[in-house]
Amino acid sequence: MRIIVIAVGKLRDRAVFELTRKYEKRLPGGCKIEWVEVPAVSGRVEPEQARAREAERIRRRIPERAWVAALSEKGREMDSLAFARWLSRLRDRGRDVCFIIGGVSGLHPSLLKKSDETISLSRLTFPHELTRAILAEQIYRAFSILGNEPYHRE
Give the fold, CATH level 3, of 3-146: Alpha/beta knot (3.40.1280)
Model pLDDT for residues 5-41, shown as the tens digit of each residue: 999 999 999 999 999 999 999 998 888 999 999 999 9
Worst-scoring range by mean pLDDT, 29-33, 53-57, 128-132? Answer: 29-33
Interatomic CA distance for residues 116 and 91, integer angstroms? 15
What does the pLDDT read at residue 154?
75
The confidence band for 142, taking pLDDT boundaries of 50, 70 and 90, is very high
Model pLDDT for residues 64-103, shown as the tens digit of each residue: 999 999 999 999 999 999 999 999 999 999 999 999 999 9
DSSP code, position 103? B
Q: What 3-state DSSP class applies to 98?
A: strand
**Angle formed at CA 147 by CA 34 and CA 75, multiple of 5 degrees:** 55
The confidence band for 60, taking pLDDT boundaries of 50, 70 and 90, is very high
Counting residues of the chain whose pLDDT is more than 90, the rounded percentage is: 81
Other CB atoms within 10 A of residue 12 CB: 8
What does the pLDDT read at residue 37?
97
- Max CA-CA distance within the chain? 50
What does the pLDDT read at residue 108?
95
pLDDT at 116 over 80: yes
Interatomic CA distance for residues 103 and 105, integer angstroms? 5
What does the pLDDT read at residue 107?
95
Q: What 3-state DSSP class applies to 115?
A: coil
